Amino acid sequence: MDEREAMRPRTRLLLALIVAVYLALGVAFSVIVPLGESPDEVDHFLYARFVAENGRFPVMFPNAADNETMEANQPPLYYLAGAWLVRMTGSAAAMPWQENECYTFDPMDNGRAHFYLHTPAEAFPYQGDALAFHLVRLLSVLIGAVTVLLTFFLGRHIIGSEVGGLVAAGILAFNPQFVFINASVNNDVLTACLGAAIVLASIALAQRPTIGRSLLAGLLVGLGLLTKFALLALWPLTLLGVFVPLLRPPSRPARPALRVLRHTILLLIVPILVSAWWYVRNWRLYGDALAWEVHLQAKGEQVLRTSPLGLHDLLAFARIHFQSYWGWFGWLKIQLPGWAYGLLLALVLISLLGLAWQLGRLLRLFIRRRGGHLLAVGTAPALLLGLLAALSIYASLLRYILTINWSGYQGRLAYAAAAPVAALLAAGWLAVVEGVKRPFLSPLFPLIGLALTLGSLLGLLAPAYARPALYQPPPEASRACLRLGDALLLEAYDVPPRVQPGEPLPVTLYGYGRSAADHARLRLELVGGERVVVGAAEVDWHWSAGEVFSQTVLLPVATDVQPARAVLRVGLLDGTGGWQAAATVEGTAVAAPSGLTTVKLAPSEPFTPTPEKQLNALFDEQLALIGYDVTGQGVTLYWQALAEMPHDYTTFVHVLDEAGEMVAQSDSQPTDGVYPTSIWDVGEVVADGKLVNLGGETAVTLAIGVYDATTLLRLPVTVAGQPQPDDLLRLPLNNTRSD
């Protein structure tokens, strides 16, 4: 079929309808799916944002934490287009992109589906970063529409009919995963578009090579190399295209070798002129034109294969790749039901059967007539070039997973061949339809795809990302990420950092129903010093599967309790009053009841002692020893907090002889850790009793100090501005004894 042949009005109308429905679906996906909830989407956006703000490209560093974006190794074309849109929105504070600590990649865990925490700041009307993000998503949707159009023309060439083009366009446009990816910020979007364009340009060269077509094909390859290096696999197709006309005996051009040489030179030079600057930059920065090694260093064990690729890995690749080619949403957690993958597999196998029959017929003709020219007439060149395009991309992907683990199995990584794959599937499908003489079945494949896409949008993604539940718990809430029993995920909590005896402690709990529960009894306990329960409360809960809910519980605290760092525990009770099992979101068992956080049990009134011996020794301007008492059993130190302290310090009293040798000691946190230094208020005074033998005949000096038990480093001591040797406060023992 001549590519210049005009479409019939009915075909034009149906193609417009396919594109319009795709656009509507793409926009709907982009609105319903929260920002960042597509694999690596935030890093793709941050690349575009960096270019917009800095006017230069990000640099990849081996240490992941040093990178502005983990996609900094990618070629820049898609991000340049995105940066233009980001710049249009003006500068705004960057969104925080706080990861959801309760997220797991296990689709069977029945947990929340969002990888990031979200707030109403992302909601319509969009502003700042949210507006910029949605604009780049819209750009992706529009690029996807171009890919659908190119797929129509590919299908028309490969199949030889407008119906074939429509079926090919429909198969791609209504692939649920294709719509999902093309509604996100991802350079795979432009990769798919340019992949389709390169294959179409190769077919055009195979039909009738011209200087203009060679220049266009070279330009497309160059742009492809500036989008994703995977498109290098399609470069040889353009070169192959210029050789196809030589197989047509009736119209061999004069001086064919010179003509082929001219086109070959253009197809080699133009891509280099367009894209070489990027790879030279990489070589100068990293000593590696592809920035491959620095990329692997930055990603590290997150993506690297730890064992050689084996049969088990290939089987896993086949399953994961097929399913994620058609429908693994979010961060690979929201999946189609099993029957949907079975239905898609049946459609693909039927199509491959029809495609194999077509290729077999072509091979039989070639063998029977012994004529290579048969490969250069009709739809044969387009069919073979489309097939080679798909095989080239998959050969490149298989080479990729020799190094990369299962994260490299994703279907979108083959979307450079999405258009020719759709056209080949359409060719095989229509061959079967023609064979069974049921033309009304022609649109069945794309219509099933459309139904699955709508079902994915309304039945999977909309419930998973329903607003306003998506915004709960708020990002500022502390994450618990505890599975209590089989049905409840305790996501987060809000608890005041302190409470006084006799006051109620308000505890806000945020839950998510992993499965429905008609009745559940939840118990909260506040455990103080010596593991004594100083407060408890029980509440009755019920929820439905997928429900997000919260409740504030007032936990009463006893009046006769000593200051302490208390532990707040939570758990579900079973029918006998025992604790139900608890686990992390990954399924690792934890103690039941489970500790949520600590709360300061503050003194009911300030402590104002009158030490027998008063002094003012400063320990690193954090603590002051304001006095002490000596008793028959040891020493009581009186400390005052001068600043908030980051550590639970250990205090000590060493008893020294005349030679400075230690004859007795007592090292412990104040109050034996029940009321540690990290929770003291500035200005607060705390008594610290030390049991130590002071009655030895050789004892002459007390040495007092403070240190961090994790580093064993002492805090420097000053008295009246004078630093004390060895970071010790030395006191003569005969001046400390009580009469």
Q: Residues 558, 537: contact at Cβ < 8 Å?
A: no
Any residues with CB less than 8 A from the CB of 106 and at least 6 apart, and which? 333, 586
Q: What percent of the chain has pLDDT over 90?
A: 84
Give the residue-averaged pLDDT of 76-104.
91
Beta bridge partners of residue 718, listed in sequence order: 618, 723
- Position 370 confidence tier, pLDDT thresholds 50, 70, 90: low
Domain borders along the chain are: 9-94+106-117+125-464, 472-601, 613-735
Could you report the per-residue pLDDT of 310-364, keeping only the tens digit for each? Answer: 999 999 999 999 999 999 999 999 999 999 999 999 999 999 999 999 998 888 8
pLDDT confidence bin for 735, thresholds 50/70/90: low
DSSP string covering 120-169, please?
GGGSSSP-HHHHHHHHHHHHHHHHHHHHHHHHHHHHHHHHSSHHHHHHHH
Interatomic CA distance for residues 110 and 580, integer angstroms: 18
Instruction: Give the residue carrying structure tokens 């791609």.
Output: 172
* CATH topology identical between 472-601 and 613-735: yes
Model pLDDT, residue 738: 47
Question: Average pLDDT of 698-723?
Answer: 93
Share in percent of the chain as helix, strand, coil (round to 5): 50, 20, 30
Tell me which residue has tokens 């000053």: 718
User: What's the pLDDT at 694?
Assistant: 82
d(CA 491, CA 41): 24
- In this predicted model, what pLDDT tens digit does every residue of 205-236 receive, in sequence order? 999 999 999 999 999 999 999 999 999 999 99
Quote the CA–CA distance of 190 and 194 in Å, as a whole number.
Answer: 6
For residue 245, what pLDDT is reported? 80
CA nearest to 130, candidates 93, 101, 83, 98: 93
Q: Judge whether 649 and 715 are in contact, CB under 8 Å.
A: yes
Query: Which stretch of DSSP H or E encloses residue 16?
Result: helix 9-32
Closest CA to 297 of 308, 286, 281, 313: 286
| Dist. CA 717–CA 532, nearest whole Å | 36
Q: pLDDT tens, 40-75?
A: 999 999 999 999 999 999 999 999 999 999 999 999
User: Among 25-34, 557-566, 620-629, 693-702, which stretch is predicted with the lowest mean pLDDT?
Assistant: 693-702
In the predicted structure, residue 250 carries a pLDDT above the cut 60: no
pLDDT tens figures, 478-523 = 999 999 999 999 999 999 999 999 999 999 999 999 999 999 999 9
* The predicted structure's pLDDT at residue 62: 95
Query: Residue 372 has what pLDDT?
Result: 55
Buried residues in 111-131 as b, exposed as e (16+ CB within 10 A): bbbbbbbbeeebeeebebbbb
Per-residue pLDDT at 530: 86
What share of the chain in percent tops pLDDT 70? 95
State residue 142's pLDDT score. 99
Give the pLDDT of residue 739: 42
667-680 exposure pattern, b = at least 16 Cβ within 10 A, e = fewer: ebbbbeebbbbebb
**CA 228 – CA 414 distance, rounded (Å):** 12
Q: Which two tokens stand for residue 402?
A: 């020799």
Q: What pLDDT score was predicted for residue 575?
A: 86
pLDDT at 365 over 90: no
- pTM value is 0.90
Q: What is the mean pLDDT of the chain?
A: 93
The average pLDDT across 238-255 equals 74
- The string of DSSP codes covering 476-503 is TSEEEEEEETTTEEEEEEE--SEE-TTS
Name the CATH superfamily for 613-735. Immunoglobulins (2.60.40.10)
User: What residue type is 358 in one-letter code?
Assistant: Q
Q: Quick check: 269 and 259 in contact, CB under 8 A? A: no
pLDDT, residue 647, reads: 95
Report the C-alpha gap between 170 and 443 in whole angstroms: 8
Tell me the CA distances in angstroms from 272 to 262, 264, 648, one per residue in order. 16, 13, 62
In this prediction, residue 14 carries a pLDDT of: 97
Nearest to 112 by CA among 96, 98, 100: 100
DSSP assignments along 285-341, one per residue: HHS-TT-HHHHHHHHGGGTB-SS---HHHHHHHHHHHHHHHHHEETTTTEE--HHHH
Q: Comparing C-alpha atoms, which of 565, 560, 504 is closest to residue 530?
A: 565
662-668/650-656 β-pairing: antiparallel
The one-letter amino acid code at 290 reads L
As assigned by CATH, the class of the 472-601 domain is mainly beta
For residue 727, how far is the Cα from the chain centroid? Answer: 48
Residue 83 confidence (pLDDT) above 60: yes
CA distances from 483 to 270, 424, 480, 581, 607 (A): 58, 47, 9, 8, 41
